[in-house]
Amino acid sequence: MTDETSLNLFQQQETNRRRTFWLLCGFVLFMGWLGFGGDYIYALSTAHAPAPEQHHVWWFGIVMLALGAMLAGYAYRTGPDKVLWATGAAEVLDPVDDKQRQLVNVVEEMAIAAGVPRPRIWIVPDSDPNAFATGTDPTHAHVAVTQGLLDLCTRDELQAVIGHELGHIKNLDVRLMTTLAALVGAVLLMRDGASRLFLFGGSGSSGGSSRKKSDLGPLVLVLVVVWVLSWILAPIITQLLALAVSRTREYQADAMSAQFTRNPLALASALQKIEAADAPTTHIKGGTAHMCIADPLGRHLTTREGLVADVLATHPPMAKRVAILRGMGYAQLKQAGGAAS
């Protein structure tokens, strides 16, 4: 690896560390807003009530801030386990057939080529060909492939796909993308819980509470709308973050696979096969889709380019990725032919 490539790698790793840190901080602050925002609204709404009914101790904000910090730490520590559990992946500890033995050999070879410890290996019992990597750093990393990928790819193609996933591991992409996946799940759970709380609170309202609501000023009503929208939009915002960070990283991981294997045409062939496969995905859902080498949900937006696709699509267009890899492969062949002559 050249000095320039090493520098770019270190810069990418540091960028991913920084983004993961700020993502966790942003999550904690958002939880604080949900808590203290609710306290502030409640305090305004009870400002003219008798002293015993006024809201003085902002316990909801304190609880939510502490809960946010605990959830952020829990999501970071257990994110890889949750992702693997969500996909139903089974770890390959003792290969039972030729395909599993080949997978283990390929992962060991590519780990050496990438200069990282061998990650733990998992198989997702899904006929749709795909692969993903998860973990917090190269020493605590996992690579998972679907059974469909093992059945579909040649050894060279499998090697190229594993090289792509090890590129994510080496770049520390997995830290950021796994943390995002865990936080998306946590926010969805909180949103569901909040929805039940609001419905329960609404069904139990009394005449007295209706009177208090009618006395609320316009500022309080605006704050209530913003606060409720925050609960509703939180999962959407976290999912948009997951989409935004994954698209450019696929190009980088493709290039690293080509560097590790010195065979970009193999990855181009594998991506074409994955794209052409029409088996339905049953184990990989939206919360982890951004981590896969190809969009497992087959959404139309991933085939497009432009501002909307850059913001909302989990993956760049497969045709463009294949074209770039083919260009790299043909340039490599031309250079080899010139050297031979």
Catalytic residues, which ones? 165
Q: How far apart are CA 332 and CA 267, in angstroms?
A: 14
- Burial (Cβ within 10 Å: 0-12, 13-18, ≥19) of residue 281: buried
CA angle 13, 167, 134 (to 5 degrees): 85
Cα Rg of the chain, angstroms: 24
Q: How far is CA 308 from the centre of its chain?
A: 19
CB distance 67 to 28 below 8 Å? no
Provide the 3-class DSSP secondary structure of residue 129.
coil
Neighbours of 66 (CB within 10 A): 14
Give the C-alpha distances (Å, rounded to integers) separating 287 from 86, 119, 274, 277: 9, 22, 20, 21
Q: How far is CA 150 from the centre of its chain?
A: 23
Q: How far is CA 318 from the centre of its chain?
A: 19
Residue with tokens 């003792």: 94
Q: Give the closest residue to 170 by CA, choosing from 95, 232, 119.
A: 119
Neighbours of 26 (CB within 10 A): 16
Query: What is the edge-to-edge ordering of all strands in the sheet holding 120-124?
Result: 90-91, 120-124, 141-146, 131-135
Give the C-alpha distances (Å, rounded to integers) separating 196 from 30, 91, 292, 330: 20, 37, 32, 58
Q: How far apart are CA 201 and CA 198, in angstroms?
A: 5
Q: For residue 189, what are its two tokens? A: 């759970």
